[in-house]
Structure 1
Amino acid sequence: MERQNSYRGLLKIPNLLPLILTATLSRLAGRTFILTLVLFVLARFSSPVLAGWLTSAAFVPGLIVSPVAGALLDRVGPTTALRIDMIASAVFIAAISFAALADWSSLPVLFILVMLYSLTSPLGAAGTRTLLPRIVPPQALDRANALDTAVYAIVEIIGPAMAGVVVAWIGPETAMSLIAAAYAGAAICLSHVQRLPGLASRKTSFLHLTIEGIQMVARQPTLRGLAISYSLYQLTWGALYVAVPVYVANRYATAVASSVTGLLWAITGIAGGVGALLAGLMRTTGRERYFMATGMVLSALAAWPVSAEFGFGGLAIGLILAGMMSSPIDVALLSMRQRCTDPQQLGRIMSISMSLNCTGFPLGSAIAGMVITKSLSATFVLAGIASVAAAVATVSIPTDTAPPA
């Protein structure tokens, strides 16, 4: 009973604690990297447009190769796939740091290294959530999902705050080396997780596995609906990740602005943590669309007018509200996606659907980088409209959540 009804009992499940530590360190590194990258570009090139495009470059290549990553997850197993991502991420971010410190970080070099970093990211994003159902008993899976979401909320608290404070203290170039060290630490924690083999047949070609994964996601109505609705919702966060640092930079000196930006994202993460704890106490099964749509509408109001039209205090309140809504949305999304997934095809479906779900973030960053040069307020309006569209798309998702045949 304890294993099913308490987080303490949940952590007694073999392999779960080191996996949670791995996820915490890698997600912390990833979140810190994105904001550090924005601050790095603003400091070195003074260009919001470049900040938006480089943020997109940290996501788009990974989204494109996600079907291949999913096939790799099912072929080599989630533990090995996760290890590949942790090591590759550490190497490429360390290279960005070295190039910056050596004054070799021209735009082509920076774009290449950021895109290389992106290529293995689907392995890390889907790897943890592919491992969870394989190491956690079915009766404890809902609680494990809530814990996983809470970990993500903790990352939202620590990551941006760390990025802002560390960049202000030692500069973005050195901050990159600390991010690389966090990825290396995640790889060390992962060594304590049992290596689980891939479930895909070795007799099936890698190309066939990749194509099959795309077909499975394309044919599942709920997964298709989630890809549309959640990607629209992520447009909001992609726009905010560019708009908030620019908003703050327009009001404070560079060094102070970095710290203030980090603190704003920290309070957003705290709100997300509260939302995750509340979401863990709710039974969302069968009501996922309601939870998601409600959270998206409130996120739209948080982006505009609250964040944009009521000064710095309004920005802080808007981010708190948006952060609090993000966790119930994520918990409901994860529940729907897992109930639509055949366990034998988990790696491919998780990698492809998660990548599709997140396509809005880089697009939102890129659009915000262009719109913000004309009007900062219009960027927040864009973020709000995206969440409203996401809510409409969510209520249109079919209710049938049976796994694909």
Structure 2
Amino acid sequence: MSVSTEVRPSYRALLAVEGLPRLVVSMLLARTANTMVSLALVLFALERYQSPGLAGLVTFLSLFPGLLVSPIAGALLDRHGRTRLMVVDYVVAATTLALIVVLGATNGLTEALLLMIVTVQSLTFPLSTTGARTLFPLLVPRPLWERANAIDSNGYVVSSIFGPALAGALVATVGSLWTLALTSALYVVAAAVTVGVRDPLGVVPHGRLLADAWAGLVYVARNPTLRGLGISISTSNVAGGLFYIGLPVLVLSRLGGGPAEVGQLFALSGVTAAVSVLFIGRIGTEGRERQLLAGAMLVVGTGYAALTLPGWAARSRSRCR
């Protein structure tokens, strides 16, 4: 990693870093596809099988198996380079979605087969998510790290704005299968763009795969800071996953809304997050990370709790109509 104390922190200097613009483009395409497929699969399960339980299980299996193998994914990224394994994940995602589309169109997609396919897709998911995030500090000089982190975080925000809105609108107009097909095409484009991203480390010296993965897991478990981050962020992500299932079910079954309204609500949450991400990127966070993380989680939790207040659903139903 190159470190230069002469670099003046600015977003212009950040975008001048070799390889970073291509990484940002591929990241945005892939993350937009991720948010699209998350919502599209939920709506697909609700539409075809009329089962909120199945929709929840689809979402669970699209994430949890990947979390289990994430230590191995980290070791693989070090062994074989981030760029090529990111491409592998995008190709797997595009292929599995195309398979769902073909089987769904020919009425050959059973519930069990759908669950198997999303499980396979989940296994490579950490390769791109971890690979992209760890490329930023490798490409970017140390003085630009906070702005790079803002760009990285805003990539999630931008995708959370456009992905659900686009997925909801497409499901409402052309159906869930066509939406999944277009999402598959987005992954193909993301893979093509990622091919040209340089990996500064390439392949590094390594030992046995499982031993390296276990060593990384033990290191995280023994480090108080990393252990705390793992527990708190994982718990927060569980809440976010529950909300991602609960909101579509609430809108479709209780409020009388449609897929477009679901997408618009998720997009609205992304718009509000965009402002905060850009603001945080311009201030110093060093030494205040714990307070900022805890405060953000409390604010999000308060928002979730507000949805349970008596009378909220009735007022929202009248607005939807």
Q: TM-score, normalised by structure 1?
A: 0.74
Partner residue in 2 for 1:43 = 47
After superposition, where does 1:180-259 map in structure 2 within 5 Å?
180-202=184-206, 204-251=207-254, 257-259=258-260
- What secondary structure, in the 3-state scheme, does the structure 2 residue paired with 1:14 have? coil
Deviations 1:209-248 (A, max 9, x none): 2222122212211111111111221222112111111111
Give the letter aligned to residue 60 of structure 2: S
% identical aligned pairs: 36
**C-alpha distance in 1 between matches for 2:146 and 2:293:** 17
Change (3 A) 1:299 1:19: same
The offset of 1:147, in angstroms, is 0.9
Deviations 1:3-60 (A, max 9, x none): 6432222111100000001110111111110110100000011111111111001001
1:141 is aligned to 2:145: yes
**C-alpha distance in 1 between matches for 2:76 and 2:315:** 45
Change (3 A) 1:51 1:194: same
**C-alpha distance in 2 between matches for 1:84 and 1:210:** 20
- What secondary structure, in the 3-state scheme, does the structure 1 residue paired with 2:285 have? coil
The answer to whether the 8 Å contact 2:135/2:199 transfers is no
Structure 1: give runs of 5+ residues left out of the alignment. Answer: 317-405
Partner residue in 2 for 1:297 = 298
**C-alpha distance in 2 between matches for 1:10 and 1:272:** 22
After TM superposition, which residue ranges in structure 1, 4 or more long, deviate above 2 angstroms? 1-6, 195-200, 250-253, 305-316
After superposition, where does 1:262-277 map in structure 2 within 5 Å?
262-277=263-278
**C-alpha distance in 1 between matches for 2:129 and 2:30:** 9
**C-alpha distance in 2 between matches for 1:123 and 1:313:** 43
**C-alpha distance in 2 between matches for 1:107 and 1:86:** 24
Partner residue in 2 for 1:261 = 262
Structure 2: give runs of 5+ residues left out of the alignment. Answer: none
**C-alpha distance in 1 between matches for 2:259 and 2:30:** 22
**C-alpha distance in 2 between matches for 1:179 and 1:306:** 30
The offset of 1:70, in angstroms, is 0.7
- What secondary structure, in the 3-state scheme, does the structure 2 residue paired with 1:84 have? helix
The answer to whether the 8 Å contact 2:147/2:282 transfers is no
The offset of 1:252, in angstroms, is 5.3
Equivalent residue for 2:132, pick from 115, 128, 131: 128
- What secondary structure, in the 3-state scheme, does the structure 2 residue paired with 1:250 have? helix
Q: TM-score, normalised by structure 2?
A: 0.92
**C-alpha distance in 1 between matches for 2:278 and 2:311:** 29
**C-alpha distance in 2 between matches for 1:299 and 1:147:** 21
Give the letter aligned to residue 259 of structure 1: A
Tell me how many residue pairs correspond in the alignment: 313
The answer to whether the 8 Å contact 1:307/1:314 transfers is no
**C-alpha distance in 2 between matches for 1:218 and 1:252:** 44
